[in-house]
Amino acid sequence: MDTDIKKIEDLSLNAWPSHQMQMYDGWILRFSYFYTHRTNCAEAVGMSLLPLSEKIEYCEQLYRRWKTPCIFKISPVCDPDLDGILDGRGYRVEHRVDNMTADLLLPGVDLTEEAEKGSAALSRHGLALNVRDRVSREWINGLFSLKHTEDPIHLRIVPSMYDAIPMDEIAVSITDAEGRIGGTGLGILDRDYIGIYAIHVREDLRRMGLARLICSTLLAKGKENGAEKAYLQCVTDNLPAKRLYRSLGFRKFYSCWFRVKDMSGPSR
């Protein structure tokens, strides 16, 4: 197993807790009322001893009880036979992501200068950049608005998931003249890395370079706080986002995807 891949997977788990989590023979079973695939899946984290067929049956029973689809994260960390077995059991592939990394110590874009220039330019559009050391309820509500999150269960539990993040944070938002949040970004500091999360920009403010400003601000602040490297996850077919991240020095490291099966029917 590539130790750097395992490290990124561990950092990602630290950065984004689920509403509930259960350990099971080297897997962590995550449940968040299907807020995202990542927070509602079975994910390999360590050595496994039980047969895969037995473990899959257990997970299906558990997620059926939780009344959500049964989802398995397929990554280089998991058993290489798992993907094929799940395919044979009728699991479909959803939500492919590329894990990208950047070395913040290599010569390249001057992140601090770029963030400062971008922040100064915001005032011409009646916008302001805000940087905090923790997400606030206003930041979370702004994220809900940007993502059009309306499920009452998600509105209730997701703030507690952000509250449960055990690492230092850098929370960035962009507000308009009325004080409404029009962009968000979150950096999670863990060891020598900063993880980049929750990059969203309101539809009417896109194509203004705001996503780049948010990312460069997070990376610059992360470097100031001791981060030497950065990582993020990008949906594989989101080509505009991948172009942005590559321009900031990110390169694809490895891919993951999710195998999903509806648990509303009878067990197989």
Kindly tell me if the per-residue pLDDT of 196 is higher than 60. yes
The mean per-residue pLDDT over the stretch 188-205 comes to 97
pLDDT grade for 268, boundaries at 50, 70 and 90: very low
Note the pLDDT of residue 212: 95
Kindly tell me if the per-residue pLDDT of 126 is higher than 50. yes
pLDDT grade for 34, boundaries at 50, 70 and 90: very high
Kindly give the pairing relationship between strand 193-201 and strand 128-132: unpaired
Q: Is residue 191 part of a domain?
A: yes
Do 75 and 143 fall into the same domain?
Answer: no
Do 221 and 135 fall into the same domain?
Answer: yes
Provide the domain limits for residue 56: 3-98+256-261
Residue 240, SS3? helix
Q: Is residue 240 part of a domain?
A: no
Render pLDDT for 49-98 as a digit per residue (tens, 0 to 9). 999 999 999 999 999 999 999 999 999 999 999 999 999 999 999 999 99
The CA distances from residue 132 to 48, 102, 119, 139, 210, in Å, are 40, 23, 15, 10, 17
Note the pLDDT of residue 113: 85
DSSP string across 191-222: TTEEEEEEEEE-GGG-SSSHHHHHHHHHHHHH
The CA distances from residue 186 to 8, 66, 212, 268, in Å, are 17, 29, 13, 40
On average, the pLDDT of the chain sits at 94
Minimum mean pLDDT among 18-22, 47-51, 118-122, 183-187: which range?
Answer: 118-122
What is the CATH classification number for the domain harbouring 130? Answer: 3.40.630.30
Do 147 and 207 fall into the same domain?
Answer: yes
Do 177 and 200 fall into the same domain?
Answer: yes
pLDDT grade for 229, boundaries at 50, 70 and 90: very high
Do 90 and 134 fall into the same domain?
Answer: no
Do 132 and 213 fall into the same domain?
Answer: yes
Do 111 and 169 fall into the same domain?
Answer: yes
The mean per-residue pLDDT over the stretch 231-239 comes to 97
Do 43 and 76 fall into the same domain?
Answer: yes
Do 215 and 177 fall into the same domain?
Answer: yes
Q: Is residue 235 part of a domain?
A: no
Do 111 and 182 fall into the same domain?
Answer: yes
Model pTM score: 0.94
Note the pLDDT of residue 108: 78
Do 80 and 127 fall into the same domain?
Answer: no
Q: Is residue 247 part of a domain?
A: no
Number of domains in the chain: 2
The mean per-residue pLDDT over the stretch 182-211 comes to 96
Kindly tell me if the per-residue pLDDT of 261 is higher than 50. yes
Kindly tell me if the per-residue pLDDT of 265 is higher than 60. no
The mean per-residue pLDDT over the stretch 95-108 comes to 93
Do 14 and 113 fall into the same domain?
Answer: no
